């Protein structure tokens, strides 16, 4: 489909997690031209990255170089993933606990050890505490929590207009970096800013019954379950609870929360990542696509090539 003069179309790419080889292969497949350290998009198109550029993968610096160079050239935009947000908290001293950071990693505790392990590959590749490390964290602070591009809306994990408005009112939006004050509010349990940040970058999560937990790919326990709060067609709780295969028993006896109402998405389509889908990439609906197809677990790196349509089209999905 050709572009009317002056109209920009977008190629939206899911979670890369440091897998530069797959990212470069996907860019080439979509017709992006290598140029030194960067890539030039086909005329009339722009790259949109859904965050989680880092952690886990073998070539995280290369991923960051590609994305940052394209952003600075005006050839790409990138929203913040929960992993970039965590990287900021990992190095920011806590004003509430001496000798600790906002994302705990210094003291002997289960939480600190989990946080160190999750971030280990990134720290090894950039050199923990190095100038490079701190420069990349500073760049992460320039990433917006979401983008409303008119014809499409993108966020790392979930689109919620109330959450978007709260973060915008706090001064964090496209073109505005994450300030120290807003960052601290993102860690305050009583803050609506914290609620909004978690919803956009982590999605909706609800507590599991006492004694139950979900094991992630690294063996860490999570006492909440992610909810696909866009599946307005669902009638059973098991249809909206995003549980890793083989752990469905953790949902036994759970019923649809009475306070949870899922409305049909209206307006511009929404594109998210974060949720570790597996199998053959497919749309969730004509109004929502999840583009995280588990490249860091041997799955696919997926993209959606948006060309102005108001309803998403399966044939516009592309993957490596």
Give the pLDDT band of residue 218 (cuts 50, 70, 90).
confident
How many residues are recorded in the chain?
A: 320
The candidate with the shortest Cα–Cα distance to 215, out of 243, 238, 251, 241, is 243
pTM to 2 decimal places = 0.95
Three-state SS at 241: strand
Query: Which helix (H) or strand (E) segment is 85 a member of?
Result: helix 82-91
CA atoms of 317 and 300, how far apart (whole Å) = 12
pLDDT value at residue 4: 66
- 137 has pLDDT over 90: yes
Phi/psi of residue 182, each to 5°? Answer: -65, -40
C-alpha distance from residue 31 to each of 27, 114, 294 (Å) = 6, 39, 23
Q: How confident is the model at residue 216 (pLDDT cuts 50, 70, 90)?
A: confident
Quick one: fold of 9-319? Purple Acid Phosphatase; chain A, domain 2 (3.60.21)
pLDDT band at 18 (very low <50, low <70, confident <90, very high): very high
pLDDT in tens, 75-112: 999 999 999 999 999 999 999 999 999 999 999 998 99
């Amino acid at each position: 489909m050709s572009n009317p003069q002056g109209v920009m179309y977008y190629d939206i790419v899911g979670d890369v997690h440091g897998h530069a080889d797959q990212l470069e292969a996907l860019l080439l497949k979509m017709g992006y031209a290598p140029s030194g350290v960067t890539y030039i998009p086909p005329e009339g198109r722009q790259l949109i990255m859904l965050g989680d550029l880092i952690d886990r993968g073998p070539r995280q610096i290369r991923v960051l170089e590609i994305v940052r160079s394209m952003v600075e050239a005006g050839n790409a935009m990138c929203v913040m993933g929960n992993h970039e947000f965590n990287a900021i908290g990992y190095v920011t001293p806590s004003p509430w606990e001496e000798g600790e950071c906002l994302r705990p990693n210094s003291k002997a505790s289960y939480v600190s050890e989990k946080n160190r392990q999750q971030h280990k590959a990134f720290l090894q590749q950039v050199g923990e505490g190095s100038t490079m490390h701190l420069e990349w964290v500073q760049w992460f602070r320039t990433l917006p929590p979401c983008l409303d591009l008119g014809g499409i809306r993108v966020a790392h994990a979930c689109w919620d207009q109330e959450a978007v408005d709260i973060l915008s009112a706090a001064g964090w939006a496209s073109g505005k970096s994450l300030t120290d004050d807003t960052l601290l509010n993102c860690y305050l349990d009583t803050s609506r800013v914290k609620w909004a940040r978690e919803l956009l970058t982590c999605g909706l999560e609800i507590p599991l019954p006492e004694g139950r937990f979900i094991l992630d790919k690294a063996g860490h326990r999570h006492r909440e379950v992610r909810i696909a709060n866009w599946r307005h067609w669902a009638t059973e709780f098991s249809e909206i609870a995003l549980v890793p295969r083989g752990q469905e028993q953790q949902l036994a006896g759970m019923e649809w929360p009475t306070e949870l109402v899922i409305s049909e998405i209206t307006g511009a389509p929404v594109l998210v990542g974060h949720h570790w889908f597996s199998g053959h990439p497919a749309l969730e609906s004509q109004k929502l696509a999840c583009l995280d197809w588990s490249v860091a677990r041997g799955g696919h790196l997926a993209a959606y090539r948006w060309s102005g349509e108001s309803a998403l089209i399966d044939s516009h999905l592309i993957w490596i």
